[in-house]
């Protein structure tokens, strides 16, 4: 019954906040900003609705936090491609496979809602406007050019090629849904065929 010390309290707070963020991501991703009720996030996080407000001032703030996080993680994820082993094309294949299989789908869906919905808080809107596809193209361009030099990658305009690659990937991740057994994420090799230089 002794009161917790400062440090322990802070730790509880951090854990709770993480709990909430993860719960919110799952719910917002599936249901969008209006479709999501604060009570849903609360019950997904296993806490009461009122407690949410000790960690986030409003639904908007919570949503915006998630958008920020999605942007940060997606940039970091793309940048990580340079740490991967192998030739440029190897790297691209590995990263693509990781994205397709891994749990990043929630982020794609969240960002789709954030881009499409009109109810998005202005702050989040701004974050999105500053985070255009150009950001990602700039990161990937050196790698694609290197791949083209090596003759691995098709000789199109690299920027256009990357844009197309990202659009396809993003479309797949956003649209992919359970419930239609005919709807399957394509195999990586099939998907990347349009990047690969015909031999």
* Half-sphere exposure for 56 (CA within 13 Å, toward CB): 21
CB atoms within 10 A of CB 146: 16
Please, which residue, 83 or 132, has the CB nearer to its own copies? Answer: 132
Residue 40 phi/psi, 5-degree rounding, is -65, -45
What single-letter DSSP state applies at residue 198? P
Q: Minimum distance between the CB of residue 11 and DNA, rounded to whole angstroms?
A: 10
Residues 5-24 that bind its own copies (CB under 8 A): none
CA 103/CA 165 separation, integer angstroms: 19
Please, which residue, 76 or 122, has the CB nearer to DNA? Answer: 122
Residue 185 within binding range of DNA, rule CB under 7 A = no
Residues 116-145 that bind its own copies (CB under 8 A): 116-119, 129, 132-134, 137
User: Which position has the token pair 């003759």?
Assistant: 151
> In the complex, which residues of this chain contact its own copies (CB under 8 A)?
30-35, 109, 112, 115-119, 129, 132-134, 137, 154, 156, 160-161, 163-164, 167-168, 170-177, 179-187, 190-191, 193-194, 198-199
């Amino acid at each position: 019954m002794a009161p917790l010390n400062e440090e322990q309290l802070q730790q509880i707070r951090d854990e709770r906040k993480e709990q909430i963020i993860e719960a919110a991501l799952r719910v917002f991703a599936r249901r969008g900003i209006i479709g999501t009720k604060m009570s849903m996030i609360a019950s997904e996080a296993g806490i009461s609705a009122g407690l949410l407000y000790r960690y986030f001032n409003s639904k908007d703030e919570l949503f915006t936090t998630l958008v920020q996080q999605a942007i940060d993680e997606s940039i970091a994820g793309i940048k990580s491609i340079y740490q991967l082993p192998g030739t440029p094309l190897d790297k691209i294949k590995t990263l693509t496979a990781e994205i397709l299989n891994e749990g990043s789908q929630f982020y794609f869906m969240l960002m789709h809602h954030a881009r499409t919905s009109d109810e998005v808080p202005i702050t989040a809107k701004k974050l999105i406007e500053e985070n255009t596809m150009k950001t990602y193209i700039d990161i990937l361009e050196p790698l694609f050019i290197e791949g083209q030099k090596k003759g691995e990658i098709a000789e199109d305009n690299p920027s256009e090629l990357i844009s197309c690659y990202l659009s396809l990937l993003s479309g797949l991740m956003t649209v992919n849904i359970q419930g239609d057994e005919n709807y399957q994420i394509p195999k990586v090799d099939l998907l990347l065929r349009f990047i690969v230089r015909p031999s």
